[in-house]
Amino acid sequence: MTDSHPPLIPITKPFFGDEEVDAVIEPLKTGWVVQGPFVKQFEKKFSTFTESVFSIATTSCTTALHISVAMLGLKPGDEVILPAFTWVSTANVIEYMGARPVFCDIDLGTLNIDPDQIESLVTAKTVGIIPVHLFGLCADMTSVMRIAKKHHLWMVEDAACAFGSWYYGKHAGTFGDTGCFSFHPRKSITTGEGGMLTTQSDSMNQLARSLRDHGASRTDLERHTSKYGFLLAEYNLLGYNYRMTDLQAAVGSVQMDRAVTILESRQQQARRYDQLLSNYDWIMTPQMLENYIHGYQSYVTLFCPEVPSLKNVDRLHVQRNDVMADLEAQGIATRQGTHSPVIQSYYAEKYCLVPEQFPNAYIADRLTLALPMYVQLTEEEQDRVCQELRKAING
């Protein structure tokens, strides 16, 4: 690329500095690179920030979700309700346990589970519900909690995208039996790969710590730093190796120190996009709801030059892709918000699912459009994104 080309604008970029570089050297120097003191420090900072009583670091949000459903005793024959528009791993962890994911359509305004449709899906086999706080906007927790309580369901919050998201003054991930966060680089703070399980229950905390570590009765660090270190722990539970390394946690711990800066910058950029796009009537910007703080893991819009329906969605999808291709040609990356597992063949074929059952999830799958958002994104670049968007739609 020559100098005359405008700089590329990626969809996201981690916000790292010298502090992360220095931090990651520490475990390398001491030689303790597996789960150890930095994981402990990262967990502590995470608990302080989210006001969660317990935080347990894992290798990803998916593995935090897997530990959660295992702890809650999910078994073959059970059913779990989840939104039909979410990353596939929300459903996969239910499958891992041999249970059945029961998909619920979403509200097209919030892109989250439609609370009005949940109850009709509850059967005698339903044991739990996994609301997802998609892109950083909390699900309607008042409704979800009321339904969970009424039907004696457990609740695991998929808070993969919800770091820095609050609902009526409480941080996402602190409502359910557990909350599960992701630190993949598409998220506001990152450790490369990584996750966090939050819980307010002491027994869940202890069980989660054991299950992430092969079901061990004590950690490697405890064994190596205490008397009788030659004695192996006991392994009386069927556990997994879902331990975060200290290399990742050293980065995560510094990312926590930057959390306020990162989240404030995302808020500012969201406000700016809202304003710049306010007269683009063919695009719906993310909803702002009273008493919710949107974490803006992603700034996801809906491409809707016409009121979208199952009739016009495939045509509009082609048009949206043309717009995305035009932006890409200008060096601006955009992405579809996320996907709908119900149209992935594994789920569609196994459970005979068709888009007509989940019209809004299908429309969201086909028409969402995420715009670049990261701390380093300048105002000029944001302006350019919006200008090129306008040009792309006007042809």
Ligand X SMILES: Cc1ncc(COP(=O)(O)O)c(C=O)c1O
Which positions lie near ligand X, rule CB under 6 A?
Answer: 60-62, 86-87, 89-90, 132, 158, 160-161, 182, 184, 195, 338
Taking the complex as a whole, the smallest distance from the CB of residue 131 to ligand X amounts, in Å, to 10
Taking the complex as a whole, the smallest distance from the CB of residue 337 to ligand X amounts, in Å, to 9
Residues 6 or more apart whose Cβ sits within 8 Å of residue 270 = 286, 294, 296, 299, 373
CB 303 within 8 A of CB 316: yes
Which DSSP string do the residues of 143-168 spell out, in sequence order? Answer: HHHHHHHHTT-EEEEE-TT-TT-EET
The secondary element (H helix, E strand) that includes residue 284 is strand 283-284
Taking the complex as a whole, the smallest distance from the CB of residue 206 to ligand X amounts, in Å, to 23
3-class SS at 84? coil
Nearest by Cα to 20 from 335, 257, 198: 257
Distance CA 245, CA 391 (A): 46
Distance CA 259, CA 46 (A): 10
Taking the complex as a whole, the smallest distance from the CB of residue 70 to ligand X amounts, in Å, to 15
Nearer to ligand X, 111 or 316 (CB): 111
Angle, nearest 10°, between helix axes 37-50 and 246-257?
A: 30
Nearer to ligand X, 50 or 90 (CB): 90
Nearer to ligand X, 111 or 277 (CB): 111
Taking the complex as a whole, the smallest distance from the CB of residue 278 to ligand X amounts, in Å, to 27
Nearer to ligand X, 182 or 336 (CB): 182
The secondary element (H helix, E strand) that includes residue 198 is strand 195-199
Taking the complex as a whole, the smallest distance from the CB of residue 4 to ligand X amounts, in Å, to 36
Nearer to ligand X, 39 or 132 (CB): 132
Nearer to ligand X, 242 or 282 (CB): 242
Distance CA 255, CA 20 (A): 8
